Amino acid sequence: MQADAGQDTHDLPATPGIAPTRIAIGLAQGLLVYLLYRAGTDLAWPATQPLLFLPLLMVAVMAPVIAISGLGQMARRPLLLWLGTAAALIVAFAFYDAWRMEGIHLPQPAPRAIEPSPQLCVFLAAGFFIAHALVLAGAQERRRIAGYTNYFEIAWKLGVQLAFSGLFVGSTWLVLHLGAQLFLLIKLDFLSRAIDQSWFAIPVTTFAFACAMHLTDVRPAIVRGIRNLLLVLLSWILPVLTLLVGGFLASLLFTGLEPLWATRRAAAVLLGAAAAFVVLVNAAWQNGGVQVARPVALAARIAALLLVPVVALAVYALALRVNEHGWTDDRVIAAACMLVASCYAGGYAAAALRKGWLAGLAGVNIAAAFVVLGVLALLFSPVGDPDRLSTIDQLARLRSGAVTAGEFDVGYLHFDAGRYGREALARLEADAAAPQAAFLRARIAAVRKQVYRHHDRALQDLPVLAENLRAWPAGTRLPDSFMKMDWSQVGDELPDCLRRRGDVCEAFLLDLGGSAAPEVILLGQAMENAVLHETPGGAWRVIGTLPPRLANCASLQQALREGRFRALPSAWGDIEIAGQRLPVRQPHTLPPGCTAAPVAGPHPMPVQPDAAP
């Protein structure tokens, strides 16, 4: 059995006026957030000033939570000093976030105010959770670096408080919706209309959260009991995870690393395993003063040692991806996480090699907390901004020849690299000495027409399109206007070979309309096909398709490659209904004896466009 992790020796007695103050802060927060929300939806001041609006919004969301938690735990002067410092940091990080997102293209049905980036929300939440626990512990012990037992008690208490406050808010809304349904049974809709209004929903949410934080704060025994139960349950998961990870590492001796790298997500999974190890080892170890069952203690020691190979494999997997494709913002963030994971891995392994019950974990956890804060601050500064670092690396790869102008990911810089990426594209446009400058300018202009990042049809270029198409019979040349067509202007009915790099289609020329200008027939993979016609203006459009089951008939595909095909008039006429012409479509049947077609047939040399007249 695991012993109690200790008593909350540092809980301050309830102070008169704490509850009304917390509730007042919650209501004031709700009012302020509501006013900012309305300004954002109506595009009124200060939402028209992103560099002002986003800092105000983030301070309104986060600072009251810090104040509610700190009341009763810190003296007034230290609390006000900490609140001022926290607000200043929130303003600085939010201002930088708004600055780096300025001018970003966000597809939307109507104009709206700037929103915080997901990175800002996650980093601020994680960073201030750690910082608040450190400050509370230090204030209670009147030391800059408090004892680990106090850090442990406060951090886990704060985590349980936040989790159950969120649960309380969710339960409150369930009750409100239930009440609204009850009133609707008697044709009274005032409550159902009220809960759909922001003036009601936002203050109610902040009010419920403030009440929950107060209730969990004045009932430390309940919070402690929940925490201890949670830690016991988590600690018994540790032997299972240790066995699984140990088996995985042993299996690598027989399978090798190639299957691992082939997944292209090894770094993320391994990093997740390392994070799970850290959480579960701490759940078992707690503050170092508890007695645990022997299997749990043994699993904790082994897990502390297994962290080293797990993190090493994650680092190597990331290094392979960076070497192959360069840095992106996600990979920079992953590298920062691996830096933190390396601190844990080294410290935990050293603690596991010593005698006793992992006594070194206290110092490692405290040091790692400050490392995390430093890394988060660095990531949200111009020095370590992932967008800036990835943009610099991608440009360096282009100039060094590591990627060609056709392979250069213009879409990433425009959509995902923030201000730094868009400014880099502007410099590339103006740089006549850039590799294939005219070609790059055309690609940059194309990507600026895109609405969504994943709509990469506009990035198709002549060399890549030529690689995607295989013209039959061998030696056939597709029309020059077809090869230079901007396929981003055509709808979603196109085969993937006209939209994405690396998808292959077989192409055939056949005059279907009797105009002496042949149509292009494309047969793609996965039963994709299209018949395309050139309009008088030189643009191409899809005019129809062939039976999709043609992809499953190898004999007919081979006949097409050999040129054994011709155009025939339709066996049935069309029908005109109220001036609308409707074709009679025959069932998609194929002649008997068709065998399954191979995934990809023999490919002649990539096609080249006709020479310009």
Q: How much is the pLDDT for 497?
A: 82
pLDDT digits (tens, 9 = 90+) for 2-42: 444 444 444 445 567 899 999 999 999 999 999 999 999 98
Q: How much is the pLDDT for 591?
A: 62
Same domain flag for 142 and 27? yes
pLDDT bracket for residue 51 (50, 70, 90): very high
Is pLDDT of 62 > 80? yes
Residue type (1 letter), 581? R
Q: How much is the pLDDT for 49?
A: 92
Q: How much is the pLDDT for 210?
A: 97
Task: Find the Cα–Cα–Cα–Cα dihedral 208, 33, 135, 95, rounded to 10°.
Answer: 160
Classify residue 141: in a domain, yes or no.
yes
Same domain flag for 203 and 127? yes
Same domain flag for 47 and 155? yes
- Phi, psi torsion values for 526, nearest 5 degrees: 55, 40
Of 436 and 134, more confident: 134
Q: How much is the pLDDT for 451?
A: 65
Of all residues in the chain, what percent carry a pLDDT higher than 70? Answer: 87
Q: End of a domain among 434, 459, 484? A: 459
**Could you write out the DSSP letters of every residue in 217-275?**
HS-HHHHHHHHHHHHHHHHTTHHHHHHHHHHHHHHHHHH-SHHHHHTS-HHHHHHHHHH
193: helix, strand or coil: helix
Q: How much is the pLDDT for 590?
A: 62
Same domain flag for 209 and 94? yes
Sign, Cα dihedral of 100, 103, 105, 107: positive
Same domain flag for 83 and 166? yes
Is pLDDT of 340 > 60? yes
Q: End of a domain among 429, 459, 489? A: 459
Measured between alpha carbons, how far is 325 from 483 in angstroms, rounded to an integer? 28
Averaged over 60-86, what is the pLDDT?
95
Q: How much is the pLDDT for 384?
A: 94
Q: Print the domain residue range for 240.
A: 231-253+270-379
Q: How much is the pLDDT for 75?
A: 92
DSSP bridge partners of 508:
521
Lowest-confidence segment of 211-215, 294-298, 356-360, 455-459 by average pLDDT: 455-459
pLDDT digits (tens, 9 = 90+) for 180-194: 999 999 999 999 999
Say if residue 455 is exposed, middle or buried (CB neighbours under 10 Å; 0-12, 13-18, 19+). Answer: middle
CA distances to 297, 359, 477, 507, 512 from 483, rounded to whole Å, are 67, 68, 10, 12, 20
pLDDT bracket for residue 462 (50, 70, 90): very low
Same domain flag for 249 and 335? yes
Q: Give me 612's structure tokens.
A: 């310009």
Measured between alpha carbons, how far is 366 from 513 in angstroms, rounded to an integer? 77
Residue type (1 letter), 17? G
Of all residues in the chain, what percent carry a pLDDT higher than 90? Answer: 55
Classify residue 162: in a domain, yes or no.
yes
Cis peptide bond N-terminal to 604, omega within 30: no
613: helix, strand or coil: coil
Residue type (1 letter), 505? C
Of 106 and 413, more confident: 413
pLDDT digits (tens, 9 = 90+) for 468-487: 888 888 878 888 888 878 77
Pairing, β 540-544 against β 575-577: unpaired
Same domain flag for 70 and 154? yes
Q: How much is the pLDDT for 219?
A: 85
Q: End of a domain among 408, 435, 459? A: 459
Q: How much is the pLDDT for 489?
A: 62
Classify residue 473: in a domain, yes or no.
yes
The mean pLDDT value of the chain amounts to: 86
pLDDT digits (tens, 9 = 90+) for 487-534: 766 666 778 787 776 678 889 988 887 777 888 988 887 677 888 888
Averaged over 80-103, what is the pLDDT?
94
Please tell me whether the overall predicted TM-score, pTM, comes out greater than 0.95 for this model: no
Classify residue 578: in a domain, yes or no.
no
Is pLDDT of 467 > 80? no
Is pLDDT of 369 > 90? yes
pLDDT digits (tens, 9 = 90+) for 577-613: 887 877 777 766 666 656 554 444 444 444 444 433 3
pLDDT bracket for residue 362 (50, 70, 90): very high
Same domain flag for 446 and 358? no
Measured between alpha carbons, how far is 121 from 206 in angstroms, rounded to an integer? 18
Classify residue 188: in a domain, yes or no.
yes
Averaged over 272-286, what is the pLDDT?
96
> How many domains are there within the chain?
4
pLDDT digits (tens, 9 = 90+) for 151-206: 999 999 999 999 999 999 999 999 999 999 999 999 999 999 999 999 999 999 99
529: helix, strand or coil: strand
Same domain flag for 279 and 349? yes
Same domain flag for 514 and 491? yes
Same domain flag for 138 and 242? no
Averaged over 319-347, what is the pLDDT?
95
Same domain flag for 208 and 237? no
Measured between alpha carbons, how far is 85 from 209 in angstroms, rounded to an integer? 23
613, 482 contact by CB (below 8 A): no
